[in-house]
Structures are given as C-alpha cells and as structure tokens.
Structure 1
Amino acid sequence: MNNELGVTVLGRNAHRSRWFLVPLGMIVLLCLGTVYSWSIFRTPLENELGISATASLLPYTFVLVFYAIFMPITGFYIPRLDTRKITAVGGIIVGLGYILSSFATNVGTLIFTYGVITGIGIGIVYGVPMAVVARWFPDKKGLAMGLTIIGFGLSPLITAPLANHLISVYTVRPTLRLLGIVFTLVILTISLTMKFPPRGWQPPQKITNTETILTPVYPQILFKTRSFYGLWICYIIGALVGLSAIGISSPVGQEIININPNVAAGSVSLFALFNGVSRPLFGWLADKFKPHHIAILSYVLILIACILMINAQTGQVATYLIAFCLFWFCLGGWLAMAPTMTLRFFDPDQYAQNYGIIFTAYGMGALIGTLVTGRVRDLFGSYTYAFYPMGLLAIIGIIVACTLLKKEGSASATFSRK
C-alpha cells in the first residue's frame, strides 16, 4: 500500500526529496573511502617511523579486514537500532582512529589505531547509507545504491590529492589529525538524515520484480540457497582480483612498463575515476538484466585485462592504462552489483543482515589479495605472474555465475507464498 502522503525527507515530499539521501550517503562513503588513499601516507610514515614498505602496508591490510568483519556484525543490528545513532557512533570511531594515528610512534600502534579502530568505525558506518537508500528506493534500488556507493570509489580521486597537499603543507601527522576531525564532523552532521522510511512505505510507481526471492527466516534459509553461495564466491573473486590490482597499480607501471613514478602515481586518479563511474553503471545493469549475465560481463573484462598485462612489454603505457582501468572498473562494479543482487535474491527487509554476511567475501578477498600479490612478486621476481591466477579466477567466476548465480524457481514460489 502506498502511504506517500505525509511522509517527508528533510521536511519535503518524500518521493522527490528522497534523492537528497543519495549525495548525503555519497559524502559519508567518500570520507570512509579515504582508506584507499593510504599510499599517500605510506612514504611519509615510513620516513618518520623508520619502517619498511612491507610494514607500512599492514595498517591498510588490517583496516580492510576489520572493516569487513564489522560490516556483518553491524548489519544484524541496523534494522533493530536507530540508524542515525549507528552512523554517529561509527563516525566518531573513524575520526578517533585517524586522530590517534597521528600520535603513533611505531607500526604496532599504527596498526591498532588506523587498522583496527578506523576499520571498526568504517565497518559500522559503511552499510547504513546503503541500507537507508535501499529502503527509500525499492523501485530504483540498483541505480540509487550504485550512485550512493560511488563516493567510496571516487574518494581517492578527491582525498588523495587533498591529503598529498595537506602533507606537503603541514606534514603527515597534522594531516591525519585534521582529517580525523573533519570526518567526525561531516559524518555526525549527515547522521541526522540517515533514517528508514515508515514500515510499508512505497513510492507512487508500482514496483514489479519477478526475480525477487523472499527469505522468511534469517539467516538459516540464506545458507540453504544456491544463489547465496554463487553470489559469495563470485563476490570474493571480484574483490580479490580488484583489490590485488589496486595494491600493485603503481609498482606494476614502474617495473613492467617502466613509466615515470610520478606518472604511475598520477594514473591512480584515472583508475579511481573508472572505479567510481562503474558503480552506478553496474547498479543500473543489475536492475535491468539477469545477475549471472552481469557477473559474466565483469569476469570477461577482468580476463581481457589479465591477457593484456601478461603480454605487456616495456613502454606499452596504453596497454597498462587500459588493463588497470578495467581492473578498477570491475571492482567498483562488484561493490554495486553485490548489494543489488542481495536485494534481488533475498528479502529486502533483511537486507542489512544478508549483505553483511555476503560482505565477508570482500574481507576474504581483501586479506588474500593484499598478501598474495606481494608474495608472488617475491617468489617469481615479477608482478607479471600475478595475472595468471587472476585470469584463472575470472574463468572460475564465469563457471560459478553460470551454474549458481541464478534464481531458484521453486524456492521463489515457496517464499513468495509465505
């Protein structure tokens, strides 16, 4: 039943003003996505703390892992607690992590303050804007969520140059402190708007989605569905390949293509642009086409990128740029596809919990991807060999998508009757 009358967002008619929640959620995720700009802080911190390049990567690895751990934990409580309070608490923790990191005197402290504390804060906040937008946009969930999550992907495009400028002016510690204060204030302010619509609220348009599978019990039924395992495996492959590529983007450009270090670093902004643009695009595609078709498209693009880099030679800058634009593009795509497919396959009312569980695939991909690529470089002497297993994973992803990432007709009929 449509109860549009009397429902408002920011004091205005809900149907139109609900779109304001998208840029607000985007800003929150832009603050959180600064973790992807960690490479800007690494060199200054290596010099100040006297640590190796390997050690300086550990805070980044830990922040991704704790972010992925606390996403499903928070997802369970999002429908039960005030989403505005969850956002506010998470924002304070994120800011605190940055501020405390500015006082770190060794890598162990930095791992705890940035990796653990900031990671926990990100995990608490990350799912809220998407859960809120999903409730307000049942008719355009893929597009709306893709636009919202673009903030996380485009963050390096904005925050990396900003952080680099601040470091050049104030040095690294005051920069961490300043960012922590700003992030806290921004997220606290926007947290006031992060609330669900009234139960049963619907926009005026009639919503039809023949492929929605409603799961009446959380999470037992989730684990009994073929589509859950298909989505989880496909997501871990997409995250693992994408995060591996992000971690080696600059060194691959320098070692394999032999481009200038400044050009290699600058190209990351181009990659971040593709990572951001892909999110609303793949979100829209996930609304319009069958999930396994969109997943296969992403894996084909990854496979093309792997083939390009396996055959890349010194001086082939265009090949390098095209390949890594595709890697970043597909990672952004999975961060939009996975939540949209979660809504499509499972009960939207249990979205926060369901996506929290599925998001553990991202954590696995982050942990494996950030550690294995460096190990491959150490064992074989070149990053080129990292693209062989990536290509193999893309092929496995195509097979899994074809066999598991589909709606289960009988289950759909059963659940829809309940």
Structure 2
Amino acid sequence: MKKTTLITMSLITMIMLGSVYTWSVFRIPVESFYEINTFMSGLPYMVSLWFYALSMVISGRFLNLINMKKFAFIGVLLIVFGWVMAGLTTTIFGLVIMYGVFIGLGVGILYGIPIMIIQSLFNKNSGFYTGLVLAGFGLSPLVTAPIIKTLLNNVTLHQTFMLIGLLSFIILMITSTKLTSLDKSLEKDVSVGSKIKIDKVFIILYFLFLFGTTIGLMMIGLSYQVGVQYYDFSPSKVTLAMTMFALANGMSRLLFGYLSDRFNLKNIIRLAVFILFLSGIIAYINKGRFFGLYLLSFSGFWFILGAWLAIAPNAIKTIYGLNNYSKRYGVLFTAYGLGAIIGVSVSGLILDALKATQALYLIIMGISLMCLFVLGVKKFTLGL
C-alpha cells in the first residue's frame, strides 16, 4: 500500500472516530428529552471517553500488525451497534451504556491501529506523520458537528443517532478494510517484548498527560453549552465557533507532532502548559462578555488537548523505543480515561452548584502553574 493511501485512510478513520468530541452539540437536546441536569448529560460523554481509554489498554496488550484486521472489524461493529442502540434507548442510563460503553470501546480499538502503523512504518518524521493522522480526530467536529446539528434540526435526537450509526458503518468498513491490508513484507510485530517497566519518567509523563487531558476533555464537553446557556451567544454563532475549536485541535496535533521530531520534549510540554495557562486567564477575565475572547480561550483549550495527543505517542517512542510500544502507550492512555471522569464529573457538579464558569478557569490556572513548577524541578524531569 502506498504511504499516501495509508495516510488518507487513517485520516478518514480518525475523522469518524473523532465525532465523540461533538457530544456538546447533543447535550442540550439530551437534557431536554431526558429532563436531566448538566452532570447527568455529561455521563454518556464521560463514560465513552473512559471506555475509549480502557480499550486502548486492553487492545494495546495484544494488537500488532498481523492481527489488526480482526481488531478493526470488532471496533467497527461496536461503534455501529452503540450508535444504533442509542437511537432506540428511552432512558439516560441506556444512553450511557450504548453511547458510553459500546462506542467508547470501539473508538479505543480503532484509534490505536493507525497510530501503531505510523509509528512502526515511518522511521523518519514519525511525530509529524502521527500528528497529521491525529489531526483527523481533532478536526472531526469541523466536519461532523455541522452534520449532526443539521440532523438535529430536521429529525429527532434518536433518529440522528441511528443515521450517524449508518454513516459510520459505511465509511469505517471501507477505511478499516483498506487500512489493514498491508503488504506482507511490512508486517512486523512491534508489541512483543519484555514486561514494561514503570519508572519515574513515565510517572511524571503520566500525570502531566492526565492534567492536560482532564482540562481539555472537560472544556471540549462544555464548549457549546457554555457558549449558549452561560454566555447567551446564539446557537448559530457557537456552532460556527465549534468549527474553529476543531480546527485548533486538529492543527495543534500537526504542529506538536512536527515539534516533537525536532525539539526537546520538556520544552515542548512547557509550551503546551503555558498556552493552557494563558487560555485560562483569558476565559476568566472575559466572563463571556466578548465572543472573540470566548473563541480565543476555548480554542486554546481544544488546542492543548490536541497537542498532548500528539506529544504522548512520540514521547513513548522517543524515550522507550518501539519495544512494547502498544502496551506502554495503552497504559499511558489510561490517564485520558481518568481525565474524562475527573474533568466531566467535577465540571458538571461545579456548574450545577454555582451556575457560573469562573471556578473552572481558576482550577485550570492552578493546575497549569503546578505543572510548570514540576517541569522546572530538574530531579523530577530527568529523562524527559
């Protein structure tokens, strides 16, 4: 298979998988239909991200270039089943199971396949190519949010779920079949190796990744709701803003993938944390008064999540090599699942209690300063 075809199929696959980031578009219709609060409407999104991370760990222990076709087929079936059954459920807990568990598991299985292929077959500039592929996941709302919004305006919530399931089946079956049809000469197992060792460097990287993904996932899940309900911007303006957020998320993956190939890992992480800190300051000062500052600050939150998802896979390869790559990256990715649970649940409880967003921005600034402090202490970051 030509590398251009490999990149193209990977990008399309990631765009479909990244529709999980459009959950904020669903939240208001979900709250209206099921008559629930902010915390409850965040549960399907939170559970989906947790099982997404969990399946990365499980599949990472067994996934390799030889058996990936079977994993891809299972992943597609889980995603399609989740969307279709979400369209049939009549309770919020049923939606949590169908959208959260099944779609989350399927996304996690499929997500690891393009990354493993790129890291295995692209010896030069693997960070850039990984970032390029991951840009599809981040840019997904740019494509999928307008489609979902249009469907919600013309058909019911549950019909929208089922139509997305049908679209996912058609596209993912085509891309995953093509993606997993590697030449036999390229098939080499990068998962075989000794038991992975969890050292101090890995622990520091894990917690930095945890903090970055917690904030990113929290704010991505709230973007539409904050813009419409808390800041009183029109739904059409916020929908337009969502496309800009997705663009920031996608471009950051490409940019930080490129930077990961060329610069010191610690300095790249410092840059990501500093941008997050600035975004928190802008959001806190703005208080929803100016649409432009809302656009700038939330673009920063989306940007940093994309940055971390480009930094993480290349950091694992740079520090530890390809031996046990899938296993080690799977363990690191549990931080993403924890970030989903912590970020979505805490933000939901805060917003339900305070009916204001300022506390969230203070938390973001506090975590950012703590991360910058850790990165400044040499004994904590030797090896990064």
Q: 1:257 Cα shift?
A: 4.8
Verify the 8 A CA contact 1:258 1:315 in the aligned structure 2.
no
Q: 1:305 Cα shift?
A: 1.1
| 1: CA distance, partners of 2:187 / 2:118 | 13
Return the match for 2:383 from 388, 400, 407: 407
What's the CA shift string for 1:124-181, capped at 9, x where partnerless? 1111111011111121110110011111111111111111222333322222222212
Q: CA separation of 1:182/1:380 partners in 2, compared to 1, >3 Å: closer, same or farther?
A: closer
- For 1:18, give the aligned amino acid: K
**Partner of 2:61 in structure 1?**
76
SS in 2 for 1:349: coil
Verify the 8 A CA contact 2:146 2:239 in the aligned structure 1.
no
Return the match for 2:328 from 354, 357, 365: 354
| 2: CA distance, partners of 1:198 / 1:407 | 36
Verify the 8 A CA contact 2:128 2:254 in the aligned structure 1.
yes
**Partner of 1:342 in structure 2?**
316
Q: CA separation of 1:64/1:42 partners in 2, compared to 1, >3 Å: closer, same or farther?
A: same
| 1: CA distance, partners of 2:278 / 2:117 | 36
| 1: CA distance, partners of 2:346 / 2:274 | 22
Q: 1:117 Cα shift?
A: 1.0
Structure having the larger proportion of residues in helix: 2
**Partner of 1:211 in structure 2?**
none
Q: Structure 2 matches for 1:43-62, cutoff 5 A?
A: 43-62=28-47
Verify the 8 A CA contact 1:60 1:115 in the aligned structure 2.
yes
| 1: CA distance, partners of 2:170 / 2:355 | 45
Q: 1:406 Cα shift?
A: 4.3
**Partner of 2:194 in structure 1?**
217
Matched, 1:194 2:180: yes
Q: Structure 2 matches for 1:123-134, cutoff 5 A?
A: 123-134=108-119
Q: Structure 2 matches for 1:3-402, cutoff 5 A?
A: 9=1, 17-79=2-64, 82-192=67-177, 193-194=179-180, 217-219=194-196, 221=197, 223=198, 225-254=199-228, 257-313=231-287, 315-402=289-376
Moved more, 380-389 or 363-372: 380-389
| 2: CA distance, partners of 1:200 / 1:169 | 47
Q: CA separation of 1:114/1:254 partners in 2, compared to 1, >3 Å: closer, same or farther?
A: closer
SS in 1 for 2:195: coil
Q: 1:31 Cα shift?
A: 1.0
| 1: CA distance, partners of 2:284 / 2:252 | 24
Q: 1:381 Cα shift?
A: 4.0
- For 1:218, give the aligned amino acid: K
- For 1:194, give the aligned amino acid: T
Q: Which has the larger radius of gyration?
A: 1
CA RMSD of aligned residues (A): 2.3
SS in 1 for 2:20: helix
Structure 2 segments unaligned to the other structure (5+ residues): none
| 2: CA distance, partners of 1:250 / 1:100 | 25
Size of the aligned set, in residue pairs, is: 378
- For 1:103, give the aligned amino acid: L
Q: Percent identity?
A: 30
SS in 2 for 1:348: coil
| 2: CA distance, partners of 1:79 / 1:322 | 40
| 1: CA distance, partners of 2:324 / 2:184 | 15
- For 2:195, give the aligned amino acid: Y
Q: 1:275 Cα shift?
A: 0.6
Q: 1:226 Cα shift?
A: 2.2
Moved more, 346-355 or 288-297: 346-355
Verify the 8 A CA contact 2:11 2:134 in the aligned structure 1.
yes
| 1: CA distance, partners of 2:328 / 2:284 | 37
SS in 1 for 2:42: helix
Structure 1 segments unaligned to the other structure (5+ residues): 1-8, 10-16, 203-214, 409-418
| 1: CA distance, partners of 2:65 / 2:266 | 32
SS in 1 for 2:259: helix
Verify the 8 A CA contact 2:24 2:224 in the aligned structure 1.
no
| 2: CA distance, partners of 1:21 / 1:266 | 31
| 2: CA distance, partners of 1:28 / 1:80 | 17
- For 2:58, give the aligned amino acid: I
| 2: CA distance, partners of 1:383 / 1:253 | 11
Verify the 8 A CA contact 2:204 2:381 in the aligned structure 1.
yes
TM-score by length of 2: 0.91
Verify the 8 A CA contact 1:234 1:401 in the aligned structure 2.
no
Verify the 8 A CA contact 1:63 1:116 in the aligned structure 2.
yes
Q: CA separation of 1:283/1:197 partners in 2, compared to 1, >3 Å: closer, same or farther?
A: farther
- For 2:62, give the aligned amino acid: Y
TM-score by length of 1: 0.84
Verify the 8 A CA contact 1:63 1:114 in the aligned structure 2.
yes
